[in-house]
Amino acid sequence: MCEIAEIEQALRRAAPHRLVAVVEEALRDRGVLRVELRMADYGLRTLQLVGDVSGADVSVPIHDSPQGRAFGAQEPHVVRESGTLWLHLPVTVRGDRLGVLTAELPPRADVGPLLPALAQLCEALGHEILVAERDTDLYVLARRATRLTLAAEMQWQLLPGRSCARPEFALAAHLEPAYAIFGDNYDWSVSDGRLTLTVTNGMGEGIEAALLTNLAINALRNARRAGLPPADQAALADQAVYAQYRGDAFVSVLLLCFDLATGEVEAVDAGSPRLWRQRGQVVEPVGFEAQLPLGMFEDTVYVPERFSVRPGDRLLFGSDGVYAAVSPAGESYGDRALARALRGTRLLPPTQVPQAVLRELAVHHGGSPLEDDALVVCLDWYGTTSTVAA
């Protein structure tokens, strides 16, 4: 087999739509018969085959398939059946789970020596997929199990990813309904020593909500990239939204900036997204002084608040489609049910928590469709060596 460095170079030189073919060609001299790549769909329910043009449904479920087992556990999974050996490997980049690469091998192949190199190859493939998506729709198309609404298309294009992992933290997010979201969104950015996280909820539905959220997110990014602190980021975005809508539309935002070295957090609560914290066995809401949503009035002044996170803390952020959803008996999900769901998912990794909470939300709501889109973001805080020692 070619050295991994040679395969990485071949991937970089390849046409964007030929990445899987390059991997397959490089692995043939090691006995690999063929490979296929599947991408996780937007709803995180299925793994979709890349490059399928048959029109047939060749997806496999994430929660009940060998490929899904590798995706969920983030570990290689070997299956021997019908005289064939299948090796399923997760394709993940910096904690963002993209999909699964499957290699077909002869039934008596020894996969042990292959695994370290193939894991490195999958990481290289993941990086090249993210680059290739600038130039081809192939991988984006494989992410969808059905057609997106235009509003959802606009919202998904805004997102930084579905998960992110660093030594100091791991976070993940999920939106429902994935194929018809309106105004809910999230954003994060990790720079030298800081994590900035925003959870937003634009008012309205459809295209109007998507346009509003797009304006707010890009205004917040513009201010962040100019080096402004969180309160000034909110103020600049507030001015941008008000200038466009003159108070007829507004965006609720929870904006937080984490110091990766100390765990100190600077927060601006401008509206409805909420935050819960699990520390040990205790689950409680983290309250802030409510400030005006972005764009409601001209020249709003925002005041930052501060709190600290400790190693082992789990933070859960939810839009109003989560905490305000009511049961048939009239109980809001955010009152007690969300705390129960958070305790019940304490052993799950952050990548699995948002979906688990949203499944509990669906049960709480009586199984009927939600009246609003719902967003859940989960953040596990590990801290640095110095904060753990402290």
pLDDT of residue 361: 87
334: tokens are 């955010």
Taking the chain (390 residues) in consecutive chunks of 10 residues, what is each chunk's mean pLDDT? 79 96 90 94 96 76 96 95 91 97 92 90 96 96 94 94 96 93 94 94 91 97 97 98 96 97 97 90 91 95 97 94 82 80 92 93 76 90 71
Q: What is the pLDDT of residues 11-22, one digit of tens each?
A: 999 999 999 999
pLDDT of residue 1: 46
The strand order across the sheet containing 169-176 reads 163-166, 169-176, 374-381, 314-318, 274-279, 282-285
Contact indicator for 172, 244 with CB cutoff of 8 Å:
no
DSSP 334: I
Total-model pTM: 0.92
Tell me the chain's radius of gyration from C-alpha atoms. Answer: 22
Contact indicator for 268, 291 with CB cutoff of 8 Å:
yes
Three-state SS for 107?
coil
Q: What is the pLDDT of residues 124-136, one digit of tens each?
A: 999 999 999 999 9
329: tokens are 């008996």
Q: Which of 236, 234, 310 is nearest to 279 (CA)?
A: 310
pLDDT of residue 134: 94
pLDDT of residue 337: 79
Give the whole-angstrom CA distance, residue 136 versus residue 140.
8
pLDDT of residue 56: 62
pLDDT of residue 272: 75
Q: How large is the angle between the packed helices 4-13 and 115-132, nearest 10 degrees?
A: 20
Q: What is the pLDDT of residues 20-70, one digit of tens each?
A: 999 999 998 778 999 999 999 999 999 999 997 666 668 999 999 999 999
Give the whole-angstrom CA distance, residue 192 versus residue 172.
20
pLDDT of residue 78: 95
Amino acid at 379: L
Q: How many residues does the chain have?
A: 390
